Structure formats: structure tokens, C-alpha cells
Structure 1
């Protein structure tokens, strides 16, 4: 009777192990879902950085974002969704940095132009006052 009890326990453990392995196999086959939403968000971020003047004011950051976006698109084609998501997220961050840098540089350029305009007006006022 004792051997029969151990045999029954071993069969139960074996069934549990097979069931667990099967479940893990099914879950691993499902894989990582395609990051289509992240890809779209990243593409918009790159586009915004370009229209913000990234080519002129933040070329390195914009180039990095574009290269990472290209890599993400290649990973999507290869169905390597984890890498595609990571690269798309990095591209988004680089693009946001490029856009912010470009806007900051534009603002500094505009401030410099205003200061120069003020300097010219002061000179004109001083010349007319004499």
C-alpha cells in the first residue's frame, strides 16, 4: 500500500509539472505584443522635433532619434517587438530633447535679436538727444 501511495503522489507531481510547462510554453509563444502605439507616438515626436527646427538647432539629437526610429522599424519588420519598443521609446526621448533644444535655441536667438534692437534704438535716441 505504501508503494501505491508514493506512485500516486509522483503521478500527481508529474501532471502538475507537465501542466505548468505547457502553460509556460503557451505564454512564451504568445510573445510580446507589437508596440504599434509606441511606434506612432515616437514617429510624431520625431516629426515635431523636425518641425521645431531640430535640423538646424539640435542636429545630433535629431539624428540620434531618427536612427533609433529606423532601428525600431527594422525590429518591427523582424518581429523583434521588445527591441522595437525599446528603440522607439529611446527615439521618442531623443526627439523630445531635440525639440526642446531647438525651441530653447530659437528663444535665445529671438532674445538676442531683441537686445540688439534695443541697443540700436538706444544709440538712435542718444544721437538725437545730442
Structure 2
């Protein structure tokens, strides 16, 4: 009786292992779709970063984003969709960093101009007060 139980439990274990292996194989063979949506989002992010002043205020980040976008487009052409998606996501992150850096630099520049204007006004007020 004990031998029958061991045989039965081994059969169940083999079936579970076979089903798990099949599931892994099917998941691995599932075709990766072209990341067209990610590519479009990344292109828009790079474009927005450029128009936000990325070329002037964040040249390294915008250059990196553009290079990664070019690499993503080459990977798409070669149908290497996984690499294309990864590069497009990285390009999007770099572009967002460039846009944020550019906006921050512009804000700092505007704040400095306002501070300088305030300083000049204070000098004028002090001169008129004397």
C-alpha cells in the first residue's frame, strides 16, 4: 500500500513540473510586440525637451536622449523590440530630465533677474532717501 502512495505522488509531481515547464515555454515563446506606443511617447518627450530649452540648458541630457532614441529606432528596424523598448524608455527618462533641468535653469535665471531688479530699485530708493 505504501508503494502505491509513493508512485501516485510522484506522478502528480511530474505532472505539476510538466505543466510549469510548459507555461514557462509558452511565456518565453510569446512574441514581443513592437513598442510603437512607447516609441511615440519617447519621441514626444524628446521634442518637448528640445522646445523647453534642453539644447541650451541641458545639452548632455538632451544629447543622450536623442542618441538613445536613434538607437531605439535602429533596434525597431532590426525587429529587436525588447532593446527598442528599453532604449525608448531610457530616452524618455533622459528627455524628461533635460526638460526639467531646462525649466529649472530658466526659473533660476528669471529669479536672478528679479533679484537684480530688486537690488537696483533698493539702490534707487536709498539714493532718493538721502
Q: Which residue of 1 aligns with 2:92?
A: 92
Which structure 2 residues correspond to residues 1-130 of structure 1 after superposition, within 5 A?
Answer: 24=25, 28=29, 30-130=30-130
2:94, 2:112 → 1: CA distance? 27
The offset of 1:59, in angstroms, is 0.3
The offset of 1:31, in angstroms, is 2.0
CA-to-aligned-CA distance 1:41-96 (integer Å, 9 cap, x gap): 00010011001100000000000000000000000000000000000000000000
CA change 1:26–1:102 in 2 (3 A) is closer
Secondary structure of 1:34's partner? coil
2:64, 2:94 → 1: CA distance? 7
1:108, 1:72 → 2: CA distance? 33
Return 5+ residue gaps in structure 1 as ranges.
Answer: 1-12
1:26, 1:125 → 2: CA distance? 75
CA-to-aligned-CA distance 1:4-39 (integer Å, 9 cap, x gap): xxxxxxxxx9xx89xx5xxx47972x5210000000
Report the number of matched residues: 113
Secondary structure of 2:96's partner? helix
Alpha-carbon RMSD? 2.4
- When the two structures are superposed, what TM-score results if normalisation uses the length of structure 2? 0.79
CA change 1:26–1:128 in 2 (3 A) is closer
